[in-house]
Amino acid sequence: MSTLKESMNAIQSLVVDAYISAGELIAAETQADTDAVRKQKLLEQTADQYERAALEVRRICESHATGVGGYGRKPELPPVRTEGFAERTGQGWLHIQINTLLPHCRFYAPTWLTSTVTRLLDHYERGAGDLPYFDRAMLVIDEHSKVDGRHIFDQDNKGWKAVSNALKGRLIPDDDQYTLSLVLRSTKSEGDVCHIFLMDMADAALYFSLYSGGYTC
Protein backbone atom coordinates (compact mmCIF):
# COMPACT_ATOMS: atom_id res chain seq x y z
CA MET A 1 0.00 0.00 0.00
CA SER A 2 1.31 3.44 -0.90
CA THR A 3 2.06 5.89 1.89
CA LEU A 4 -0.19 8.84 2.57
CA LYS A 5 2.49 11.18 1.22
CA GLU A 6 2.72 9.23 -2.05
CA SER A 7 -1.06 9.23 -2.39
CA MET A 8 -1.29 12.95 -1.76
CA ASN A 9 1.44 13.59 -4.35
CA ALA A 10 -0.68 11.68 -6.87
CA ILE A 11 -3.70 13.79 -5.99
CA GLN A 12 -1.70 16.98 -6.35
CA SER A 13 -0.76 15.88 -9.85
CA LEU A 14 -4.41 15.28 -10.73
CA VAL A 15 -5.46 18.64 -9.30
CA VAL A 16 -2.72 20.44 -11.21
CA ASP A 17 -3.92 18.84 -14.45
CA ALA A 18 -7.46 19.92 -13.62
CA TYR A 19 -6.25 23.44 -12.86
CA ILE A 20 -4.50 23.61 -16.24
CA SER A 21 -7.67 22.42 -17.99
CA ALA A 22 -9.66 25.08 -16.14
CA GLY A 23 -7.18 27.69 -17.36
CA GLU A 24 -7.58 26.47 -20.94
CA LEU A 25 -11.33 26.71 -20.52
CA ILE A 26 -11.08 30.32 -19.28
CA ALA A 27 -8.79 31.18 -22.20
CA ALA A 28 -11.21 29.59 -24.67
CA GLU A 29 -14.08 31.59 -23.17
CA THR A 30 -12.23 34.86 -23.82
CA GLN A 31 -11.61 33.97 -27.47
CA ALA A 32 -14.50 34.91 -29.70
CA ASP A 33 -13.60 32.29 -32.34
CA THR A 34 -13.75 29.29 -29.99
CA ASP A 35 -16.56 27.01 -31.13
CA ALA A 36 -19.13 25.50 -28.79
CA VAL A 37 -17.93 21.92 -29.36
CA ARG A 38 -14.40 22.75 -28.14
CA LYS A 39 -15.80 24.51 -25.07
CA GLN A 40 -17.95 21.50 -24.28
CA LYS A 41 -14.97 19.15 -24.62
CA LEU A 42 -12.89 21.36 -22.31
CA LEU A 43 -15.72 21.43 -19.78
CA GLU A 44 -16.01 17.65 -19.79
CA GLN A 45 -12.22 17.23 -19.63
CA THR A 46 -12.01 19.56 -16.63
CA ALA A 47 -14.89 17.80 -14.88
CA ASP A 48 -13.35 14.39 -15.52
CA GLN A 49 -10.00 15.41 -14.00
CA TYR A 50 -11.57 16.89 -10.88
CA GLU A 51 -13.79 13.80 -10.55
CA ARG A 52 -10.79 11.47 -10.75
CA ALA A 53 -9.08 13.53 -8.04
CA ALA A 54 -12.21 13.26 -5.87
CA LEU A 55 -12.36 9.48 -6.36
CA GLU A 56 -8.69 9.21 -5.40
CA VAL A 57 -9.34 11.18 -2.21
CA ARG A 58 -12.18 8.75 -1.42
CA ARG A 59 -9.79 5.82 -1.86
CA ILE A 60 -7.23 7.46 0.41
CA CYS A 61 -9.87 8.04 3.09
CA GLU A 62 -10.61 4.31 3.07
CA SER A 63 -6.94 3.31 3.08
CA HIS A 64 -5.62 5.70 5.72
CA ALA A 65 -8.64 6.45 7.93
CA THR A 66 -8.26 5.95 11.69
CA GLY A 67 -8.83 2.33 12.70
CA VAL A 68 -8.38 0.73 9.27
CA GLY A 69 -6.43 -2.52 9.16
CA GLY A 70 -6.02 -5.45 11.50
CA TYR A 71 -8.75 -7.72 12.87
CA GLY A 72 -11.35 -6.38 10.46
CA ARG A 73 -12.00 -3.24 12.48
CA LYS A 74 -14.06 -0.50 10.86
CA PRO A 75 -12.91 3.14 10.78
CA GLU A 76 -13.49 4.82 14.13
CA LEU A 77 -14.48 8.08 12.51
CA PRO A 78 -17.56 7.81 10.23
CA PRO A 79 -17.14 9.63 6.90
CA VAL A 80 -19.09 12.81 6.28
CA ARG A 81 -21.65 12.12 3.56
CA THR A 82 -23.31 15.00 1.78
CA GLU A 83 -23.95 13.44 -1.63
CA GLY A 84 -27.25 11.79 -0.72
CA PHE A 85 -28.70 8.71 0.96
CA ALA A 86 -30.26 5.30 0.34
CA GLU A 87 -33.36 3.84 2.00
CA ARG A 88 -36.15 1.28 1.63
CA THR A 89 -39.66 2.57 0.98
CA GLY A 90 -42.84 1.22 2.54
CA GLN A 91 -43.45 -0.71 -0.68
CA GLY A 92 -40.11 -2.49 -0.35
CA TRP A 93 -38.50 -0.46 -3.14
CA LEU A 94 -34.99 0.89 -2.97
CA HIS A 95 -34.83 4.69 -3.04
CA ILE A 96 -31.57 6.56 -3.59
CA GLN A 97 -31.37 10.34 -3.49
CA ILE A 98 -28.39 12.10 -5.03
CA ASN A 99 -28.11 15.79 -4.29
CA THR A 100 -27.19 16.80 -7.82
CA LEU A 101 -28.36 16.26 -11.40
CA LEU A 102 -27.20 13.47 -13.67
CA PRO A 103 -23.97 14.39 -15.44
CA HIS A 104 -23.62 14.78 -19.19
CA CYS A 105 -21.94 11.71 -20.73
CA ARG A 106 -21.25 12.84 -24.26
CA PHE A 107 -17.47 12.69 -23.92
CA TYR A 108 -16.62 10.97 -20.64
CA ALA A 109 -18.22 8.21 -18.61
CA PRO A 110 -19.43 9.57 -15.23
CA THR A 111 -17.36 7.24 -13.05
CA TRP A 112 -17.97 9.37 -9.98
CA LEU A 113 -21.70 8.63 -10.22
CA THR A 114 -21.16 4.85 -10.15
CA SER A 115 -18.81 5.33 -7.19
CA THR A 116 -21.31 7.55 -5.36
CA VAL A 117 -24.21 5.12 -5.80
CA THR A 118 -22.00 2.23 -4.65
CA ARG A 119 -20.93 4.11 -1.54
CA LEU A 120 -24.47 5.09 -0.64
CA LEU A 121 -25.46 1.43 -0.87
CA ASP A 122 -22.45 0.44 1.26
CA HIS A 123 -23.34 3.07 3.86
CA TYR A 124 -26.95 1.86 4.01
CA GLU A 125 -25.89 -1.77 4.30
CA ARG A 126 -23.38 -1.03 7.07
CA GLY A 127 -26.22 0.56 9.02
CA ALA A 128 -27.95 -2.83 9.12
CA GLY A 129 -30.04 -1.98 6.09
CA ASP A 130 -31.35 -4.89 4.04
CA LEU A 131 -30.68 -4.38 0.34
CA PRO A 132 -33.25 -5.97 -1.97
CA TYR A 133 -32.50 -8.28 -4.87
CA PHE A 134 -34.75 -8.53 -7.92
CA ASP A 135 -34.66 -11.14 -10.67
CA ARG A 136 -36.62 -8.71 -12.86
CA ALA A 137 -36.69 -5.05 -11.93
CA MET A 138 -37.70 -1.59 -13.05
CA LEU A 139 -35.27 1.29 -12.56
CA VAL A 140 -36.79 4.77 -12.33
CA ILE A 141 -34.55 7.82 -12.45
CA ASP A 142 -36.44 11.03 -11.72
CA GLU A 143 -34.59 14.33 -11.93
CA HIS A 144 -36.04 17.33 -10.14
CA SER A 145 -34.62 20.52 -11.62
CA LYS A 146 -35.25 24.24 -11.58
CA VAL A 147 -33.18 24.74 -14.74
CA ASP A 148 -35.18 25.77 -17.79
CA GLY A 149 -34.42 24.17 -21.14
CA ARG A 150 -31.73 21.64 -20.23
CA HIS A 151 -31.41 20.79 -23.92
CA ILE A 152 -27.81 19.59 -23.64
CA PHE A 153 -28.96 17.28 -20.86
CA ASP A 154 -31.83 15.62 -22.69
CA GLN A 155 -32.45 12.02 -21.74
CA ASP A 156 -30.14 10.35 -24.25
CA ASN A 157 -27.19 12.51 -23.11
CA LYS A 158 -27.49 11.79 -19.40
CA GLY A 159 -25.18 9.40 -17.59
CA TRP A 160 -27.92 7.05 -16.38
CA LYS A 161 -25.88 3.97 -17.32
CA ALA A 162 -23.54 4.75 -14.43
CA VAL A 163 -26.47 4.06 -12.08
CA SER A 164 -27.35 0.66 -13.55
CA ASN A 165 -23.65 -0.27 -13.57
CA ALA A 166 -23.57 0.22 -9.78
CA LEU A 167 -26.59 -2.09 -9.37
CA LYS A 168 -25.52 -4.97 -11.64
CA GLY A 169 -24.59 -8.15 -9.84
CA ARG A 170 -25.58 -6.67 -6.49
CA LEU A 171 -29.28 -5.89 -6.70
CA ILE A 172 -30.10 -7.33 -10.13
CA PRO A 173 -28.60 -10.21 -12.18
CA ASP A 174 -27.76 -8.05 -15.19
CA ASP A 175 -29.13 -5.00 -16.98
CA ASP A 176 -30.12 -6.64 -20.24
CA GLN A 177 -33.48 -6.11 -21.87
CA TYR A 178 -35.11 -9.00 -20.01
CA THR A 179 -34.04 -8.29 -16.43
CA LEU A 180 -34.13 -4.50 -16.17
CA SER A 181 -36.56 -1.93 -17.54
CA LEU A 182 -35.65 1.75 -17.45
CA VAL A 183 -37.81 4.82 -16.87
CA LEU A 184 -36.32 8.34 -17.17
CA ARG A 185 -38.39 11.17 -15.77
CA SER A 186 -37.88 14.91 -15.38
CA THR A 187 -39.82 17.04 -12.93
CA LYS A 188 -39.76 20.82 -12.51
CA SER A 189 -38.98 21.81 -8.93
CA GLU A 190 -37.26 24.48 -6.85
CA GLY A 191 -34.15 22.39 -6.24
CA ASP A 192 -31.76 20.21 -8.22
CA VAL A 193 -31.89 16.62 -7.00
CA CYS A 194 -32.07 13.14 -8.51
CA HIS A 195 -34.33 10.38 -7.14
CA ILE A 196 -33.59 6.78 -8.10
CA PHE A 197 -36.03 3.92 -7.48
CA LEU A 198 -35.43 0.22 -8.01
CA MET A 199 -38.44 -2.07 -7.66
CA ASP A 200 -39.72 -5.48 -8.62
CA MET A 201 -41.13 -5.48 -12.15
CA ALA A 202 -44.41 -6.69 -10.68
CA ASP A 203 -44.75 -3.31 -8.93
CA ALA A 204 -44.55 -1.29 -12.16
CA ALA A 205 -48.33 -0.85 -12.35
CA LEU A 206 -48.42 0.29 -8.72
CA TYR A 207 -45.67 2.84 -9.33
CA PHE A 208 -47.38 4.34 -12.38
CA SER A 209 -50.68 4.39 -10.53
CA LEU A 210 -49.08 6.38 -7.72
CA TYR A 211 -47.28 8.64 -10.21
CA SER A 212 -50.49 9.45 -12.13
CA GLY A 213 -52.15 10.20 -8.82
CA GLY A 214 -49.61 12.88 -7.96
CA TYR A 215 -47.07 10.80 -6.08
CA THR A 216 -43.93 12.80 -5.24
CA CYS A 217 -40.60 11.78 -3.76
Q: Which run of H or of E encompasses 193?
A: strand 193-200
Give the CA distances from residue 48 to residues 19, 134, 156, 164, in Å, rounded to whole numbers and listed in that order.
Answer: 12, 32, 19, 20
Q: How confident is the model at residue 160 (pLDDT cuts 50, 70, 90)?
A: confident
Across the range 146-160, mean pLDDT stands at 66
Q: Report yes or no: 123 and 82 within 8 Å, Cβ to Cβ.
A: no
Q: Report yes or no: 103 and 160 within 8 Å, Cβ to Cβ.
A: no
Q: How confident is the model at residue 76 (pLDDT cuts 50, 70, 90)?
A: very low
| HEC letters along 51-93 | HHHHHHHHHHHHHHCCCCCCCCCCCCCCCCCCCEEEEECCCCC
pLDDT of residue 70: 42
Instruction: Count CB atoms within 10 A of the CB of residue 144.
Output: 19
Interval 77-119: pLDDT, tens: 454 455 889 999 999 999 999 988 777 666 555 778 888 899 8
Single-letter amino acid, residue 25? L
What is the C-alpha end-to-end distance of the chain, expressed in Å?
42
Architecture of domain 81-217: 2-Layer Sandwich (3.30)
Across the range 17-43, mean pLDDT stands at 83
Percent of the chain with pLDDT over 70: 77
The ranges assigned to domains in the chain are 1-80, 81-217
Name which of 102-106, 121-125, 151-155, 172-176 the model is least confident about. 151-155
